Structures are given as C-alpha cells and as structure tokens.
Amino acid sequence: MRVEDLARIDTELLDRLGVASAGHYLGELERIQLAQRGQGTTRYVVARDGSGRPLGMLPVYTSDPPWHPVADPVTLFGLPAAAIGPRLCLAGSYGTYANFLTVAASVTADAAETVALTLVDRARAVAREAGSAYVVLPYLDETQARWLAGRDVAAVHTREKAALPVVWDSFDAYVASLPARRRTGVRRERRRFLDSAFEVREERVVDAAPRLAPLLAQTERRYGREADPRQMAFHYTLLGTYLADDDFVALVAYREQRPVACSLLLTSGTRLISKAWGCDYAAAGDNFLYFNLTFYEPIIRAIARGVEVLDFGLGSLESKAQRGCGMERLQTVLIAAEG
C-alpha cells in the first residue's frame, strides 16, 4: 500500500471509492477547503494498492487558533493550550458533524482497519510537520471508531445525533407508531400548521439560498452564534452546485408571498439529512413551523421517495426522541502525533 497527498480530489476518485454520494462529499469538502483559506491548510491523503486502485481517503487540515469549538482540545479534553502547539491538526472534518474518513467499499472488513490506520498515521506525520502535538478526528461514526480501535487513543469525547429509520408507508402510519401520549400532540401540531395561512414550497437550494440566508442567519444568532447571510448564501449555493436538482432542496413556508421559515434537506445515498433551519421568529407565530418543516414534511417526502433514514443531527435530542428518533453515537478522538 502506498500513500499520496493531493491538493484536490474529484468525483472520479470518490466514485472509485464507492461513497454514498460523490456530489455530497465533493461539495462539502470543497466548502470546507474554502473556509480553511487564511486559517490553515488542506490536503487529501489517499491510500492506493500496487495497481493504483484507491483504497481510502482522509482529508487532513492544519488550523491556526482560534479553533472550531466542536474540535478544540482545550474545550473537549481539558488540555492546556500550550500542550497542543501553535497549530492544530484535524482529520476527516474541521468541525462539521460528518467525518469524511473513507475506506473503499471494495475493501474487506478485515483490511479496512489497516487502510484507516495507514491514513491516520499519515495525518500524524502531517501534525508533526505542522508542530501540532495531536490529531483530532471529530465525529467518527461507530464503524470509523472501530477502525481506530487498534491505535493508541489519548482521549475520546462522545456525542449523539438523532436518526429516524423510515419504515412506514404513510404519514398516518408514522403517527400511529408513536406512543399514545405523543400522537395527540403530533396531530395537533400538524393540524395547526395546515390550518394556518402558510404555503409550503419545495425549491432548489442553489436557487433559493440568497433569499433564505437571512432566515438561516437569524436562527444562528438566536442561539448566540455569529452568522453572515452573504457567506451562508455563498456556501450553500456552492454545495448545491455539486448536487442534483432534487438532492438539495429547501422547504419554504410562505405567507403573503414572503418566506417566513425554511428547512434545508440534503439527500446522501439512502439518507435524507436535515441540514439547516431558518426562521423569522417575529412573523412565525404559534404555528409549529419548526416541527412541520423539519419533521413532518420531510417524513412525508422520505416515504414517497424511498429514503431509508432521516438524519436529524445533534441538537434538541429530547424533542426528536419524542417524535420517534433513535440515537447514533459519534466520537471525537484525540491521538498523539508522536504515538
């Protein structure tokens, strides 16, 4: 097995690796690479066999402080800043809740660990070159975490995300599957929304992002996070250009021809990912826009399109569990650069 560093990757490489959605992967990675400019460096570590066939891929980032809060070793693991070094090395993700450590679908389960550890060892070498004492691998899913079990891990931080397997043939069947005490609430939330003056339209994000960015930014600011609508519009438009028309859509609630709330939904393989939520809270009223645009409307569409899992992400886990979601564990792993 040989390892090479690339400055960019393309859909041909991702297709040969057999990823769920080459457009999703490439769009997200391009978006992250742009966000990293001026903050650090990006390279893609690729493992190949003797004939040049790709076996795995790992994006590796070096970043100057301040570091993304979800991947900051000082915050997550209580390390003193001086122990990390002048730069931080992140592998697979710079802070988004998907980690892009990839082993080719053609690699056997027994060999997958060897490929993954080879990629991580190259990331450790990158960390040493950059003066970072550690590599952080944010938000590994359970399969990715198992691959790293053979490497000495300095620390692990665990979170959960909500996911809803789509196993019904109608929305009524979904509601019937909920505990009795929840059915009444869901039906009330659905009825209140349907009786309101809102019209729901499904639009391509690549077209709608500039109009919806102020709603998305308002939600970010509501929870104390900085948000620039122009930057958000640019990044979501960029991601949309890599995806088919119906693979990245916005569900938009209009009142009197004005968008009041929206949810962004991204299809990746058999998953439908709830990507973002935006709202003009002063105009929304008590109409359960959030639950209808992020849960009930996506469930109806997922059933119609044969989606297997709705991925609802990290936040508001209790309310998501009440609406039928299970939890998937994500691990942020800290590995010493020197071993």
130: domain range? 2-159+330-336
Mean pLDDT of the chain: 94
CA dist., res. 263 & res. 156, Å (int): 32
pLDDT at 152: 83
- What three-state secondary structure class fits 265? strand
User: Residue 97: pLDDT above 90?
Assistant: no
- Measuring CA to CA, which residue among 91, 89, 87, 88 is closest to residue 116? 91
Say if 11 falls within a structural domain.
yes
In a shared domain, residues 21 and 124: yes
- 304-331 mean pLDDT: 95
State the pLDDT confidence band at 206, using cuts at 50, 70 and 90: very high
Query: In this predicted model, what pLDDT tens digit does every residue of 117-160 receive, in sequence order?
Result: 999 999 999 999 999 999 999 999 999 999 998 678 999 999 99
pLDDT at 96: 78
User: Residue 95: pLDDT above 80?
Assistant: no
Say if 322 falls within a structural domain.
no
Query: In this predicted model, what pLDDT tens digit does every residue of 227-265 receive, in sequence order?
Result: 999 999 999 999 999 999 899 999 999 999 999 999 999
CATH of residue 220's domain is 3.40.630.30
In a shared domain, residues 139 and 12: yes
In a shared domain, residues 93 and 68: yes
Say if 315 falls within a structural domain.
no
pLDDT at 246: 92
Say if 320 falls within a structural domain.
no
pTM for the whole structure: 0.92
195: exposed, middle or buried (Cβ count in 10 Å: 0-12, 13-18, 19+): exposed
User: Which residue is listed with tokens 């439908």?
Assistant: 272
pLDDT at 106: 95
In a shared domain, residues 154 and 8: yes
In a shared domain, residues 36 and 6: yes
Using only C-alpha atoms, the chain has a radius of gyration, in whole angstroms, of 21
Count how many domains the chain has. Answer: 2
In a shared domain, residues 147 and 224: no
